[in-house]
Amino acid sequence: MAGRRVAIFFAAALAAMLARTLSARSLEADAYIQTNISAAKIVANNNRYHIDITILATDIEEMFQKSGSERVGVDMSQPGALEREIGKFVANRIEVRNNDGAACAKKIERASEDPTNDEGVLVVLSFECVSNRATYDATKFLGAQGPRAWQTITIIDGDAKWKIMVNSESPPVGLSSAQ
């Protein structure tokens, strides 16, 4: 019974979060998302990486329900709890690693509705690495989404810009145009 109430609360809170209108609706969408396809825009700046991850709210809701045991004891009725938990959920499944394989320092910058897509969720992460040669690995995130999950990645490194699609079986992606 309590699990059902949490699921109902989660669905209502997610719907309310997505229903809010933002003055930023005029922003142009630069990421294509649909069921089982998320997007990551990665901006490389020396040894720092800014990553915007967008995913359909319905996909995040499904992933969240499958991983409910991760939030046992979390009071989801508190203001901002849903956004914090979504940010943690995504951040725990995305890695940026230095060339030597060590994990880069990670920070959740934001988790909220996507201002460019009223059906999407936006999670913004930043990573600081010890070198400017790093790899992006979304294997755990895509694995949690399901066997048909793909991610379109746009990498911006100075004047270089390229796109790639990955799934949970893809190797980590180099984040430098020199890699």
Q: Convert the pLDDT of each residue in 13-41 to its tens digit.
A: 555 554 443 323 333 345 668 888 999 99
Q: Would you give the DSSP letter of residue 133?
A: -
Contact present, 126 and 51 (Cβ < 8 Å): yes
Q: What one-character-per-residue DSSP string does 67-122 give? A: TGGGGTT--TTSTTHHHHHHHHHHHTT-EEEETTSPBPEEEEEEEEEETTEEEEEE
| pLDDT score of 2 | 53
Predicted TM-score (pTM) of this structure: 0.79
| pLDDT score of 32 | 66
* Cα 91 from Cα 172, distance rounded (Å): 16
